[in-house]
Amino acid sequence: MSSFCFLLVDDEQEFVETVALRLRQRGFEAACAFSGTEALNWLGKNDTVDVVVLDIGMPDPDGMKVIEILKEKYPLVEVIMLTGQATIQSAIEAMKLGAFAYLMKPCKLNDLLSKAEEAAARKKEREAKILDARMKPYISKRERDELISHILESKE
């Protein structure tokens, strides 16, 4: 797969910077944010992010609140949740909120990249479907909006 852009979000600055460096060494773009608020502000100014790697256990707002806001404002951006203290409850909640994947920290970089490549591919596929829906001349605006909404809600 071609290169894509990450936004890494975690309050552990050293962790984020280390992962970003390793991703950049492999040819990926990787931006860093050290809080949920910083991440949401960054996304508001940059439309290049394909995959957000988001820590659950950050101070206010925590990762669950951030993914909720993020998926509302930027539904095509895929999110991989990271946590050092996984629970079945948090995994279920993250997936219900729209997370693409849920990984334990520390995770192997290759495992993260594998999930991120799948997530970026899904984002690109959904973007193509939305573009196709917008180009259909024979459907009404309402039908077009319903089709796009269905694409955004789809877990495929």
Domain presence at residue 106: yes
Nearest to 25 by CA among 100, 103, 113: 113
pLDDT tens-place string over residues 77-94: 999 999 888 778 888 899
pLDDT band of 120, cuts 50, 70, 90: very high
Residue 136's pLDDT is 86
Return the SS3 of 140. coil
Nearest to 40 by CA among 56, 19, 61: 61
Find the mean pLDDT for residues 123-150: 90
Predicted confidence (pLDDT) per residue in 31-51, tens digit: 999 999 999 999 999 989 999
Least Cα distance to 69 among 57, 61, 58, 81 occurs for 61
- Whether residue 100 has pLDDT greater than 80: yes
The CATH number of residue 27's host domain is 3.40.50.2300
Residue 105 and residue 112 in contact, taking contact as beta carbons nearer than 8 Å = no
Task: State the average pLDDT over residues 148-154.
Answer: 86
**Is the CB of residue 119 less than 8 Å from the CB of residue 141?**
no
Q: Please tell me the distance from the alpha carbon of residue 15 to that of residue 106, in angstroms, as a whole number.
A: 10
User: Residue 90: what pLDDT?
Assistant: 86
pTM of the predicted structure, to 2 decimals: 0.90
Asked, for residue 141, whether it belongs to a domain, the answer is no
Local confidence band at 107 (pLDDT 50, 70, 90 cut-offs): confident
Whether 147 maps to a domain, the answer reads no
Q: How many domains does the chain have?
A: 1
The number of angstroms, rounded, from the C-alpha of 127 to the middle of its chain's C-alpha atoms is 14
86 within a domain of the structure (yes/no): yes
What pLDDT is recorded for position 59? 85
Domain span including residue 81: 5-122
Average pLDDT, integer, range 11-19: 94
